[in-house]
Amino acid sequence: MARSKMIPIDEAVARVESGMTLALGGFLSQGVPLTLIRALKARPVRDLVVYSNDGGFGDDGVVELVKAGMVRELHCCHIGYTPDVGRAVESGALDLVWVPQGNLIEMFRCGGAGLGGFLTPVGVGTAVEEGHEHVTADGRTYLWEKSVRADVAFVRAHAGDLVGNLCYRGTARNYNTTVATCADYVIAEVEHAYSVGELDPEKVHTPGVFVDAVVRAAVSPRGPASTPGGQRAEAEGAAAPPDDRCVIAARAARELADGQVTNLGAGIPMLVANYIPAGVDVVIQAENGIAGVGHVSPPGTEDPDRRNAGNLFVTLLPGGCYFDTATSFAMIRGGHVAATMLGTLQVDGDGNIANYEMPGRMIGMGGAMDLVAGARTVYVLTEHCAKDGSPKLIRRCTLPLTGAAECDVIITERAFFRRRPGGGFVLEEVACGHTLEEVAACTEMAYSVAGDVRLDAYGAV
């Protein structure tokens, strides 16, 4: 009879001591080991170094440990949903280390596989490259990134048996499968516990070999019961008359080809799905581990384990599927994503993009750095000017870069620019109600005008 790994939760979290490195599974409020996190809060532990996708969601997740004064250093890619984490960084109570999402999951994967590190093109030419060795292979520059081997890891699974075999559900798989391999002591909280032999071996995602202890999940990490109204309006487009965002999204949708795999970022890009032309089938992929994303789930039909990378409840189209975050970024970095569309704070004439941090506001790059480095075509969808009227298409980005010379196309409510193979943008289209002179007056970056530039090329939808 196999030895049972099911133990009391207090005994499990007692393995975590001050100064240790803790790796966490989960993605925003998807598959987050909240039961273990809250049990750990009762321990007299300080100075933890935590590796996690994010700072949590609202008041749940890593932010709970930060507010309790237990975390000295946080390595993650996004804190945009947890203002308390940002305040802890600003006050000096917490050291924050930005890590691109795909690099983070690969650090976990290599740590679990016994590898010292890996070469990645992600972050070259940005602040991420600071302190990293540069390596050139086959004419491309890479950064040497060290792997992560944690002292303890917390993961959450939909089901598990007494010997630690685990299976996950929907997008709650995300980081959990990989984090479960990369620590000296791995604790899994499970929603449903089974006796040995009751789990179908074909459905086991994490073999019990990797798991040291199993506890019963007592807290739901599933967030609100429905998509908040503001987020729903953002994803669907407000019912009010079409605004500039819809104009941009509708023009961008015309760029998508039948059968393309596409990743749509938060904000304006999320609206593109609403304007994909009839007869064009596009596979929308999201970083958290889902392909075949449909529309926002209608009220009352939400599945808590089916969300996109913005944490919105979504539908899954026929032929869609789920996978873990490591697989998701193999798609992205491996060139399987034909197009990525993302918003920006700044973009310049060299194709540099800055979209994750500005003075007084820390958000994080999420998977954007990986996407601009790996997608075959990178589209920036943005209002032409900032809220204060200043240009967003500027001579040189002054904010931290998401990608260096990665932007291929810029689409605004006023104009459409395409970058030439040799460098420099060409104005190909001017939107309805706007003129060449107006575009020139509100565009700081250098560009040329196509000889066959199209006027009144797109507009209200």
- Same structural domain for residues 234 and 380? yes
Spatial separation of the C-alpha atoms in residues 166 and 70, rounded to whole Å: 29
pLDDT digits (tens, 9 = 90+) for 147-175: 999 999 999 999 999 999 999 999 999 99
Enclosing domain of residue 353? 229-454
Q: Which of 364, 358, 353, 419 is nearest to 387 (CA)?
A: 358
Type and span of the H or E element at 88: helix 83-91
| pTM to 2 decimal places | 0.94
Q: Is residue 425 part of a domain?
A: yes
Same domain for 170 and 301? no
pLDDT cut 90: percent of the chain above it: 90
Residue 98 lies in a domain: yes
Residue 79 covered by a domain: yes
Instruction: Identify the domain boundary among 216, 237, 260.
Output: 216
Catalytic residues: 287
How would you class 92 by CB atoms within 10 Å of its CB: exposed for 0-12, middle for 13-18, buried for 19 or more? exposed
Look at the chain and report how many structural domains it folds into. Answer: 2
Here the tokens at position 7 are 């133990």
pLDDT tens, 356-406?
988 878 899 999 999 999 999 999 999 999 999 999 999 999 999 999 999
Contact 407, 378 (CB under 8 A): yes
User: Are 146 and 81 members of one domain?
Assistant: yes
Q: What percent of the chain has a predicted confidence (pLDDT) above 70?
A: 95
- 224 in a domain, yes or no? no
CATH number for 122: 3.40.1080.10
Asked whether residue 427 falls in the same domain as residue 350, the answer is yes
Which of 157, 182, 216 is a domain's end point? 216
pLDDT at 223: 59
- Domain end call among 182, 216, 250: 216
Question: Is residue 444's pLDDT more than 80?
Answer: yes
Mean pLDDT for 3-24 is 97
Give the burial class of 100: count Cβ atoms within 10 A of its Cβ; 0-12 exposed, 13-18 middle, 19 or more buried. buried
Say yes or no: 46 and 79 in one domain.
Answer: yes
Residue 228 has pLDDT above 90, yes or no: no
Contact 95, 88 (CB under 8 A): no
Q: Which of 145, 383, 133, 139 is nearest to 249 (CA)?
A: 383
**Structure tokens belonging to residue 269:** 């890009």
**Could you tell me if 67 and 160 lie in one domain?**
yes
Which sign, positive or negative, has the C-alpha torsion 329, 331, 334, 336?
Answer: negative
What local confidence, expressed as pLDDT, does residue 226 receive? 47
